[in-house]
Structure 1
């Protein structure tokens, strides 16, 4: 990949979209992961106002530390970058306490994890509204169009997606040229929605390199290894199950004869 030319292309695209939208800048949630680090740096590179927001909810300390180091670096490099921290832990606890208990604790924990992402989305749009900014998305191609590894109306609720046509490996390539801090480049990818150290691979059952292979696989399944068959099965299952995230919201189109 022609990394620097790709960076220039994305930043020009972002500036053009910002101008067309008649908004003033970008707001982005910074998690301490590679995708938000790259996206926030691209936002900063546009030269337009960029508000980086930390949104911890009982977050693992390593994630909070990486996010703060990244933001500090951005603010030292770019005069157009500002930041704020909004701790949503108490908000989340109040929401959780108001819900009825259910027997399936695993299902409840999963749903509450998605609720964390939706609380963050709501907060980002609050700041976008008061500043006339656009919410920049952080999803990459594997997550957004491969396995659907994101929360609908959570981290999937954004105004523009600078990374959505890039594989995870390509995001890492860009991170090097953007001088993203080494702690983030070396960290295991995690969505941070469970307040612990579990990684994306722990949740999905396959690495991003494996998922990229599966996403592009077009060969004879009889000729691949047992592990590759397992990865392909994981990918196909998630790709099918999460189509409701990837497709436009279905609209019930009423026949004209019913409207007469």
Structure 2
């Protein structure tokens, strides 16, 4: 992979897109994870105003520490970085009281609340984007966005443009090394940070990103019967998630009214 050339290509793509959209720059939500660290650094390299937002909701201390260290390093390297801390914890708690979950701790309720966290962050990102004439930059990679759908519809999936969505997770790590991303972020197990328990992506999905990348590569031309052992397990996991995520990436169904009914 031509890492330097890819970085240059993405930076130019971001700069050109902002010019065509007549927007001043970018806003990126920074979580302390690898994807947001890479994306915020790519945005910073455009030279355009880049607002990085921390949007904690009952966030783990180690996630906050990584995000803050990344922002500190960004600001030391680039003079076009502005940061804001917007603690959404009380907003989220007010929401949970409003919907009155009570003692309901079942899996579906917890998943709905996890997605609500992501959607609250999307609201904050778009508030600042509209206020300042910025574009909301997505941080999803290819496996998350087009493989297993590991994002929240109208949450972290609600963005204006996606600079790394054509890169696999392992390729994002290659960019991170070239971009001098903090080693603690590179070494940290990937997590979406949407749960009270510190669940990693692997724990939620049941497979590692390299395993999912393998499944994504073989998926179009194979069936589960072509595999055995761990490969069969991973293929089944990928197949289940991929089928379930189609509503996230396909156009919203529109009921087309027959012309004779409109006359």
- TM-score class, shorter-chain normalisation, is over 0.9
Equivalent residue, structure 1, for 2:204: 203
Name stretches of at least 5 consecutive residues in structure 1 with no aligned partner: none
Q: How does 1:1-260 map to 2 (within 5 A)?
A: 1-101=1-101, 103=104, 105-217=106-218, 218-219=221-222, 224-260=227-263
Find the aligned partners of 1:257 and 1:15 in 2 and give their Cα distance: 48
User: Alpha-carbon deviation of 1:106?
Assistant: 1.8
**Partner Cα distance (1:231, 1:150) in 2:** 19
Deviation digits for residues 4-52 of structure 1 (CA, Å, limit 9, x no counterpart) = 1111111111111101111101001000000000000000011100000
| TM-score calculated relative to the size of structure 1 | 0.97
CA distance in structure 1 between the aligned counterparts of 2:225 and 2:251, rounded to whole angstroms = 35
Structure 2 unpaired stretches of 5+: none
TM-score, length of structure 2 as denominator length: 0.96
Q: Deviations over 1:133-191 (max 9, x none)?
A: 00000000000000000000000000000011100000000001111110101110000
Contact kept, 8 Å, 1:31 with 1:54, in 2: the verdict is yes
**What are the superposed Cα offsets for residues 94-144 of structure 1, whole Å, 9 maximum, x if unpaired?**
110111337562211110000000000000000001100000000000000
Report how far residue 221 of structure 1 moved.
5.0
Return the offset for 1:259.
2.1
Count of residue pairs brought into register by the alignment: 260
